[in-house]
Amino acid sequence: MEVRHYESGDEQILVNLWNDSVQEDLMTLQRFRDLVLLDANFDPDGLKLAWEGGQLVGCSYAVRRKLPMHGTELEPEHGWIPFFFVHPSARRKGVGTELLEQSSEFLRQLGRKKVFFASYAPNYIVPGIDKEAYPSGAALLERLGFQRQYTAAAMDLSLVGFTMPPEIAELIEQREQEGYCFRPVKLGDLYKTIQLANDEFNPDWGRAIREGVLRNLPMEQIMIVERADEIRGFVMYGGYEGIPERFGPFGVHSEERGKKLGKILLYQCLAAMKAKGLHSAWFLWTGETSPAGHLYRQAGFEVTRRFDVMFKEL
C-alpha cells in the first residue's frame, strides 16, 4: 500500500471511491469541488489517498483553519478530520488506521493539540460519525483513541399536511402589539443580521447568510424579527449549498428568549417553505434534548440520524 497526498487529476476517481464506500452520504464532483477544493483552508497535503495495486482504496482528509471565519475563530490549537473512508474490499487490512494516523500526524506537525471528527466549519459534510450507518468507522475511531464529545441529531419534517396553528397567529398579534415586527430581510438589514449571527451564535451562521446571498438566495428566504430598529432574531432556509429543503440556521437573541419569538419564526419559515412548493424541511445538527430540540419536536420534526462528534488529544 502507498499513501500520498491529493494531486491534480484525482478528483473523479476519489468521488467514485467515496460513493462506493459511503452509501449513506453520497457525493458529487461539484459538491466535492465546492466543499473541499474551493475551501479557503484546503491544503493538498492534508488530503491523504491510499493506493493498492494501482487502485485507490481509501481516503482521509485533515484540515486546519488558515483564515478565521470571524474575529478570533481561528482556533490555532484545533484541527479536523471532516471525512475518511475505505473501500469495502480493502477493510480490516489497516488502511483506515494508516490514513487516520497520517492525518493526525499532519495536524500534529502543524502544532495542533486536538483533532475533531467531524465538526469542521465552514464546510463539514456530516457533523460526526453515524454509528448506525458506519459501525466499523465508529469502532476504528474509538480504537485510535477518539472520545465522544456530544451527539448531534439530524431531524426531518414532512410539510405535507402542515398548517399554521391558530396559537401562532395569536402570538404574532400579541408580539406585534408589544412592538415586534416579523418580516423578510431587506438589503439594509444584512449587516446587522450577519453580526447577530456571528456574535450571538456561531460565525458559521453568519457565513451561511453571507454566502447564501452571494449565491443569489432569494431575500424572502431570510426572515427576521425586529424591535425598535434592532434585529432580535432570524431564520432562513436554502442557505447551505443552495438546497431548498435544508432549514436553518435560526436563532433569537438571548435577551429575548422566553417570548416564543423563535417559535413564531420557525412556523413562519415552515409556512413559507410549503408556499414555495417544498414537501419537506430538514437539518443536520441540533442537541436532541436542547430547548431547540424540544421546539423542533413540538413542530413535528423527527430525529432521522444521530452523529457522535468525536475528539482526540494530539
Quick one: 256 exposed, middle or buried, by C-beta within 10 A (0-12, 13-18, 19+)?
middle
Tell me whether domains 2-149 and 161-278 share a fold.
yes
Q: Which residue has the higher pLDDT, 17 or 202?
A: 17
Q: What are phi and psi of 223, to 5 degrees?
A: -120, 145
What CATH fold (topology level) applies to the domain 161-278? Aminopeptidase (3.40.630)
pTM of the model: 0.93
Q: Where are the domains of the chain?
A: 2-149, 161-278
Residue 51 has pLDDT above 70, yes or no: yes
Residue 44 has pLDDT above 90, yes or no: yes
Residue 73 has pLDDT above 80, yes or no: no
pLDDT value for 202: 87
Residue pLDDT, tens place only, 85-138:
999 999 999 999 999 999 999 999 999 999 999 999 889 999 999 999 999 999
- Cα distances (Å, whole numbers) of residue 288 to 258, 293, 310: 19, 5, 17
Domain at 2-149: CATH code: 3.40.630.30
C-alpha cell of 94? Answer: 489497516
57 touches 42 (CB < 8 A): no
